Amino acid sequence: MTPSTPAPVLVVGDANIDLILRGDVVPRFGQVEQLIERADAVLGGSGAIVAAGLARLGVPVSLVAVVGDDAFGVMTLEYLRWVGVDTAHVRVVGEPTALSVILSAPGDRAILTLLGALPSLTAVESIAAVADTRPRWVHAASPFLTGSAGWLPELFAAAHDGGAGTSLDTNWDPAEGWAGVAKALAGTDVLLPNRAELLALAGAIVGDPAAGEAAPEDPARALAALGPRVVVKDGAEGGFSLDRHGRAAAARGLLAEVVDTTGAGDSFDAGYLAAIAHGIDTERERLAWAAATGSMSVQAAGGTSGQPSLVELREALRTASPQVHAP
Ligand SMILES: Nc1ncnc2c1ncn2[C@@H]1O[C@H](COP(=O)(O)OP(=O)(O)O)[C@@H](O)[C@H]1O
Ligand SMILES: [Mg+2]
């Protein structure tokens, strides 16, 4: 594989519209009409944002997802096609497209989510898409929103049978039970949690360490022992990873003026997977791609509008290289 022929990726996950509201966004009931500063209706859903980020970074990418036969479904499909994601495996059903309304205040946000069509995603269509698109990598996003947690082992087995690697970004489990992830980890090559998800997943799967005894990388080491390389998104710090042999690496993000952190973790995933698809074989460099892509995404509203092209990412990495940690 050469850098000019990136390997194709299949993303299986959630796709929706994010309606991001900014300004005086704390609602007051009693039919008060509040004026806000800004509203952006943008492509949302972890799966869709990862797919868009990969396409932007020059990686051939197909998305398996379900949207509704409504205006938001049309918008979701149009955004995906516009950024260059293959939508042949995005199914349209007679249910509402998922929607997240994000009340974005400085330093915090509240999110109101309608699952809508997301849980209609099936194992059969996802595995069929693996056979159809013959990817070199299969990434699963948001299993607790799409209902895929129970069939991830089947999906990842199909990926491995076809010679593809596998990755999983669970995102948060609204039920906080994290059911099914333990079984999926044996077939997961790369697990991509953020800090909060790392702690919750490790707590649910391997138990909480005794108070005071835990080092920050202990939960990652515990999950890595079950199979995957654990790649942790660490906010303004960037990211680090550990594999089951104890090999560690880290990279800082770029110094960023934060406009909106929606989808930062998904853009980080896209940067990491794009590095793999482009044949980058050192873990530190993959993390540098990931952290820089995440940092660039926080500089614009929504998950995808700040995502870099390959040229922009390479330029950012070149000028910011002194910030990369030694492994
Ligand atoms: N304040 C920030 N400055 C620079 N980069 C950031 C900042 N916040 C997030 N990022 C980038 O986005 C990535 C993901 O952010 P994080 O908040 O850890 O994940 P998530 O969006 O899943 O909660 C980080 O690893 C980093 O690359
Ligand atoms: Mg996330």
Structure tokens at 298: 């926080």
Q: What residue's CA is closest to ligand 1, atom 17?
A: 235
Is 133 a domain residue? yes
Q: Given a cut of 80, is residue 214 above it in pLDDT?
A: no
Nearest Cα residue to atom 2 of ligand 1: 236
Q: What is the spatial distance between Cα 2 and Cα 165, in angstroms, rounded to a whole number?
A: 18
Has residue 102 been placed in a domain? yes
Amino acid sitting at position 255? L
In a domain, 1, yes or no: no
Token pair in block for residue 105: 């205040």
- Quick check: is 18 in a domain? yes
Ligand 1 centroid to Cα of residue 132, in Å, is 34
Residue 233 CB less than 6 A away from ligand 1 = yes
Would the pLDDT of 215 be above 90? Answer: no
In a domain, 4, yes or no: no
Q: Verify whether ligand 1 is closer than 6 Å to residue 194 (CB atom).
A: yes
Residue 89 is part of which domain span? 9-323
Residue 325 has pLDDT above 60, yes or no: no
Tens of pLDDT along 30-64? 999 999 999 999 999 999 999 999 999 999 999 99
The verdict on residue 54 lying in a domain is yes
Nearest ligand 1 atom to alpha carbon 293? 27
% of the chain with per-residue pLDDT over 90: 87
Which CATH number does the domain housing residue 132 bear? Answer: 3.40.1190.20
pLDDT digits (tens, 9 = 90+) for 87-98: 999 999 999 999
Structural domains of the chain, count: 1
Q: How confident is the prediction for the chain on average, in pLDDT? A: 94
Spatial contact of 13 and 46, defined as CB atoms under 8 Å apart? yes
In a domain, 103, yes or no: yes
CA distance 283 to 280: 8
Rounded-to-integer distance, Cα 63 and Cα 118, Å: 13
**From CA 258, how far away is CA 231, in angstroms rounded?**
22
- Closest ligand, as measured to the CA of 46: 2
Model confidence at 116: pLDDT above 60: yes
Residue 2 counted as domain residue: no
